[in-house]
A = this chain, B = another copy of it.
Amino acid sequence: MSETASGPVQDDSESAFDVFSRRCPSRETLEHVTGRWGGLTLGALHESGARFNELRRRVDGVSEKMLSQTLHALERDGLVHREAQLTNPPRVDYGLTPLGSQVAERLMDLIELVEGRMPEVVEARSRYDATHGA
């Protein structure tokens, strides 16, 4: 199911990882990717690489602490890379790795579907609240 730095354990037929299983490490990664801020951060970086403060403005509502934690988790999973520029003043750029780009693409497909279908969602909520006395 897992492997070490010495080499991946490959299974070409079907993935041995299963997010539905609570102990599978893929569930943790899915949570980093789809968590409250992880998804938006990947989505923002999908548009272009960015500096920390640019990301903070784009991901409206995220705190400095949460964005920092989010970026670290995504960097550790190999989805985001961090590049310190040797400029004066020094600056750090964040961008997606090739795997991060693929993940972000799938996420954007989902985000665009949700955004585009929100009128239906809003209508469903009204109907639900009317019949459930909310």
Contacts and interface: CB of A to CB of B under 8 A. Distances in A.
Interface of A is mostly: helix
A1 B119 contact: yes
Contacts of A119: 1-4, 8-10
The contact size tier of chain A is 35 or more
Interface string A98-126: 01001100110111111111111111111
User: Could you say which of A40, A43, A116 has the most chain B C-beta atoms within 10 Å of its C-beta?
Assistant: A116
A72 to B, nearest CB: 9
Interface of A: 1-5, 8-10, 15, 17-22, 25-26, 29-31, 33-36, 39-40, 43-44, 58-61, 75-79, 99, 102-103, 106-107, 109-130, 132
